[in-house]
Amino acid sequence: MTRTSAEHPRVAVSTVIFSLRAGDERPAVVLPLVRRTRDPHEGLWALPGGWLGESENLEAAASRTLAETTGLAPSYLEQLYAFGDVDRSPTRVVSIVYWALVREDVSGRLAPENVAWFDAASLPRLAFDHNQIVEYALWRLRNKVGYSRIAHGLLPAEFTLAELREVYEAILGRRLDPANFRRQVDSSGTLIPTTRFRTGNHRPARLYHYNQDVELAERGPLHR
Amino acid sequence: MTRTSAEHPRVAVSTVIFSLRAGDERPAVVLPLVRRTRDPHEGLWALPGGWLGESENLEAAASRTLAETTGLAPSYLEQLYAFGDVDRSPTRVVSIVYWALVREDVSGRLAPENVAWFDAASLPRLAFDHNQIVEYALWRLRNKVGYSRIAHGLLPAEFTLAELREVYEAILGRRLDPANFRRQVDSSGTLIPTTRFRTGNHRPARLYHYNQDVELAERGPLHR
């Protein structure tokens, strides 16, 4: 058995799960990690995942991992990349990695044992090549936010323009000019104003929702 | 041994290799396929590929397949997608699929036994889910041609605007207005005019080359 596992690369499925930490401060992009309880890399944090089941499709394995780790259903789930370098693990493992968005504020949620949420901008050293994988997933997220309504995957059904801008700022890692942002969003045709307003300490701000005719992101003929 | 292979999904690497068939007619997008000489699907045509070697990186496996099938080095090679549905093959196989562009006119080349080049627009029924895979690769190619200089991967170093337009037409599967095309290309800043002209039966046409400062396609932090 040992010999066979040395002959054939094994297949794992992992998932980079992005959410927003809301609260008093500006929102931040966060992701859950699992502390490894055995070698290799015992004690380090790693992406949630596991071996691909014999009778399980790839996306089903990613969804299962996501549910087990967060107790949530994703608002967006897409295959990211297959990582298969010979030296990425002591035994040969090809990891099919998915990335997902979950919409709920995860700040106060009770996580399963050995699971914790980390700020994507300041991760510790992770197991295997998982730092590189998260970096690539963030790059994909930043790219998608530019040409699709993917930010909706992190927002509730209705939101103000300031809230939308703060999601963009959290993803892109930089501040955006409010007036420019409003102009760009207005001209994109993806937002529909409602007749409701957010009231509170500030002056009332109009609530918007996304035009549901526009897909979260164009995913091509594989997802019809 | 047999039992083990039934327990663990196996990993294959396949490659969709696009090139152009030039000649008297308009160029067409073509790809090489390999006739299967054993079951499953004996006699059907399939994408070139094979099992991932134990000490072989994914991209190396794709390059090896490409060299064995075409004798050529690719001008572009990128991971397309991992296909892993339970029922895509009689045994459980996860195929990591790459797609590649090769620049040379492959019309007259001698192909290895059991290899033939097919017009991407009129494929026969292929083995496994390979029709679906080619369809997805074509979608990726069409998408990329819109926002990158990926067409350069199918062109020689210098070319006329008409030749560039014909490559776009072959990829997109529709005719483009020459004057509009010239305007769009001019304003993109990706082409540099030379002082040379293509002469022949028509009036002389200026030769261009691509601005090499612009990458074939933005591939993110994985390819630095």
CA distance A168 to chain B (A): 19
Whether residue B183 sits in one domain with residue B76: no
| Pair of tokens at residue A96 | 């099919």
Cis ω for the linkage preceding B40 (within 30 of 0): yes
Query: Which strand (E) or helix (H) includes residue B32?
Result: strand B28-35
Contacts of B92 in chain A (CB under 8 A): 54
Q: DSSP code of A222? A: G
Whether residue A70 sits in one domain with residue A102: yes
For B185, the 3-state DSSP assignment is helix
Please, which residues 95-114 of chain A have a Cβ atom closer than 8 Å to chain B?
96
How many structural domains are present in chain B? 2
DSSP E strand stretches across chain A: 10-21, 28-35, 45-46, 49-51, 76-83, 93-101, 115-119, 191-198, 205-210
B108 pLDDT above the threshold of 60: yes
| Pair of tokens at residue A15 | 């998932």
Whether A58 sits inside 8 A of B220 (CB atoms) is: no
pLDDT per position as a tens digit, A125-169: 999 999 999 999 999 999 888 767 788 889 988 999 999 999 999
Whether residue B162 sits in one domain with residue B124: no
What confidence score (pLDDT) does residue A142 get? 92
What confidence score (pLDDT) does residue A110 get? 72
Do B84 and A96 contact (CB within 8 A), yes or no? yes
Domain termination residue (choose one: B96, B129, B147): B147
Whether residue B200 sits in one domain with residue B167: yes
Q: What is the torsional sign of CA B156, B162, B164, B170?
A: negative
Whether residue A168 sits in one domain with residue A142: no
pLDDT per position as a tens digit, B13-32: 999 999 998 777 788 999 99
CA distance A165 to B14: 42
B54 in contact with A, Cβ within 8 Å: yes
| Pair of tokens at residue B50 | 């094979």
Whether residue B181 sits in one domain with residue B94: no
B200 in contact with A, Cβ within 8 Å: no
Band of residue A3 on the pLDDT scale cut at 50, 70, 90? very low
State the helix-helix crossing angle for B161-172 and B130-147, rounded to 10 degrees.
Answer: 140
Contacts of A11 in chain B (CB under 8 A): 8-9, 11, 84, 94
Whether residue B191 sits in one domain with residue B98: no
Do A72 and A66 contact (CB within 8 A), yes or no? yes
Average pLDDT, chain B: 88
Q: How much of chain A, in percent, has pLDDT values that exceed 90?
A: 66
CATH code for the domain of B200: 1.10.10.10
| Pair of tokens at residue A67 | 């549910």
Whether B6 sits inside 8 A of A143 (CB atoms) is: no
Whether residue B155 sits in one domain with residue B137: no
| Pair of tokens at residue B56 | 């072989």
Whether residue A106 sits in one domain with residue A35: yes
Contacts of A140 in chain B (CB under 8 A): 220
What confidence score (pLDDT) does residue A208 get? 93
Q: Which domain holds residue A83?
A: 2-147
State the helix-helix crossing angle for A161-172 and A130-147, rounded to 10 degrees.
Answer: 140
Domain termination residue (choose one: A147, A175, A202): A147
Whether B220 sits inside 8 A of A86 (CB atoms) is: no
Phi, psi of B167 (to 5 degrees): -65, -45
**A146-173 burial by CB neighbour count: b if 16+ within 10 A, else e?**
eebbbbbbbbeeebbbebbbbbbbbbee
Structure ipTM: 0.87
CATH code for the domain of A97: 3.90.79.10
Query: Which strand (E) or helix (H) includes residue B20?
Result: strand B10-21
Whether residue A159 sits in one domain with residue A96: no
- Listed in sequence order, the residues at least 6 apart from B21 whose beta carbon sits closer than 8 Å to its beta carbon are B27, B28, B30, B105, B106, B107, B117, B119
A42 pLDDT above the threshold of 50: yes
Band of residue A105 on the pLDDT scale cut at 50, 70, 90? low
Domain termination residue (choose one: A130, A147, A164): A147
Q: What is the torsional sign of CA B51, B57, B61, B64?
A: negative
Do A97 and A15 contact (CB within 8 A), yes or no? yes
Whether residue A186 sits in one domain with residue A126: no
Whether A11 sits inside 8 A of B84 (CB atoms) is: yes
Using CB atoms, which residue from A54, A84, A220 is nearest to B57?
A84
Whether residue A106 sits in one domain with residue A15: yes
